[in-house]
Chain A
Amino acid sequence: MKINWQLFKRVVNLLVILGVIIWSLEGMNINWERISRGIPSIGNIIKLMFPPDMSYFSRSLSAMMESIQIAVIGTTIAAVLAFPISFLSAAKIGVPFWVVFLAKQILNAIRTFPELILGIFFVASYGPGPLAGVMAIGINSIGMLGKLNSEIVETIDRGPIEALEASGSNRAEVFLYAIFPQVLPQFLATALYRFELNLRAATVLGLVGAGGIGVILLQSLQFRRWPIVGMSLLIIIVVVTIIDYSSAYIRKRIT
């Protein structure tokens, strides 16, 4: 008998997935009763948020502005700190391989560290407020910016470097005239992309006391003031959408 391996593999895959799902459902104690109660309550929450509390418009908006400010300053700190690391962690540009290895590992470690936990530490040491949020974002974003930027450095055009080297330029001149102008627009683009992510992070960081609109959300959720939650969410949706579109437009223009 000829066995249909393709089908066999598919069935095994499916069985494994099914087994994992059942294990998870059992472990989390989820049954139809909970699901059938849970889904309508989502609709109920949305209903409770309407109409949004208009009297909270200006307070929510100014808290959202604080989130933007946290993201702007945090991203800038990260971009500045990530700049040297981007070159140290780039292979093929003459940095010793153990430095590259070490720098890459440090970037990986930073990247897996959740922003929110960093936020808690900075709130504990700097006190509650936007500065703790700035530091959390500033340190956490180094990981991703350093990684993406080092990949950009690794793919630069070597022509200009060789030309300058051939004409007897020193290393500083090679960096300044052959490497830096090539990577700058793309570095800016990655920083802008990270800014979009950080704006979302800055709306969440308030949940641990690190400033921004999350603070208002935390308070209104604690007291179940749903119309205020609705107002704040509305502002988050509108502002994040506007900033996403403008940032994407600028990114397209500069690269």
Chain B
Amino acid sequence: MAKKTRTEAKKLTKVFWVDRLKKIGALAVIAIIYIWSARGVGFNLLEIFRELPSFFSLLGEMIPPNWAYSRRLINPLVETIQIAILGTFFGAILTIPLTLLAANNITRNKYIYFFAKGFMNIFRTIPELLYAAILVAGIGLGAFSGMLAITIFSIVVIAKLTSESLEAISYGPLEALQAVGGNKLEMIKYAVVPQILPAYTSYSLYVFEINIRVSTVLGLVGAGGIGVPLQTSLNLFRYQNASMIILVTFILVMAIDYASTKLREVLV
């Protein structure tokens, strides 16, 4: 009995020390990452505080916004909305085949499934604005490049979210249809689509909200929308015009979020 207790105790001490070593090791790794990062970016609290006044004086130059400028913002604002709408729309349609291929209960072929998932994950690592910058360099300046960038991003993100919901559908309705002799098309129409449609719609709306935010800054890389006058105002140091644009952008984003929430209630 005593011997057993002693080995038990030894085991516990060992567990204790291994646990403690693991913790120390993790802390050491974290410390190294921080030292490496702080050095790399030239982190310096003194400098940060020294330059803060110039940051705030820059913000101060933006007040008050140039109200008269708002009249010239209507066209770029409309373009911003149109870029986001078309990008999301084309994305939401073109995503359907990718979504089906990337769901393991629809695509039985392992290779196609992994290829689709991999494709999705690879393209998801690249931010929308990089797509926009690349397309601007390759196709040319303008809203069309911005729309294509948003389309590519929407395809990948909606496919990722929807394919995960698709993989989690319940099989009851499918089996019921099969039992009464439904064919594959009927099974998809009556058992799969009704289950997946709410998720698909709601993810598309969610991506639309992201896309509105992105399309307000697309102009900074030359891809159209309200970011174009913003870029010009900043380059010419017309900070009061810039703040007017930012204000309008705020209102747009909030209005679209509100509209999207309402739309979700109606559609989903």
Chain A residues with a Cβ under 8 A of chain B: 13, 17, 20-21, 23-25, 27-28, 30, 34, 38, 41-42, 44-45, 48, 65-66, 68-70, 72-73, 76, 109, 112-114, 116-117, 120-122, 124-126, 129-131, 133-135, 200-201, 203-204, 207-208, 211, 214, 217-218, 221-222, 224, 229, 233, 236-237, 240-241, 244
Contacts and interface: CB of A to CB of B under 8 A. Distances in A.
20 contacts: A13-B266, A20-B85, A24-B82, A24-B86, A25-B86, A27-B82, A28-B86, A38-B144, A66-B40, A73-B34, A73-B43, A114-B217, A117-B217, A117-B230, A124-B234, A130-B42, A204-B127, A214-B130, A233-B130, A241-B125
Contacts of A27: 78-79, 82
Given A42-B135, A120-B234, A126-B55, A69 B37 contact: yes
A69 B264 CA distance: 39
B147 A207 contact: no
A97 to B, nearest CB: 22
A214 B83 CA distance: 24
Most chain A beta carbons < 10 A, residue from B40, B136, B144: B40
B41 A66 contact: yes
B9 interface: no
Contacts, number: 152
Secondary structure of the B side of the interface? helix
3 closest Cβ contacts across the A-B interface?
A: A69-B40, A69-B37, A24-B82
Given A28-B143, A114-B217, A135 B85 contact: no
A116 B218 CA distance: 10
Interface stretch (B46-54, B101-109, B167-175, B188-196): B46-54
Contact of B126 (A30, A134, A224, A237): A237
A45 B134 contact: yes
A122 B55 contact: yes
A133 B129 CA distance: 16
Nearest to B234: A120
Contacts of A68: 37
A65 B40 contact: yes
Give the size range of B's interface with the partner.
35 or more
Contacts of A42: 135, 138-139, 148
Contacts of B126: 233, 236-237
Secondary structure of the A side of the interface? helix
Interface string B206-223: 000000010011001100
A41 B125 contact: no
Most chain A beta carbons < 10 A, residue from B58, B127, B147, B220: B127
Given A28-B82, A200-B125, A73 B147 contact: no
Contacts of B79: 27-28
Contacts of B85: 20-21, 24
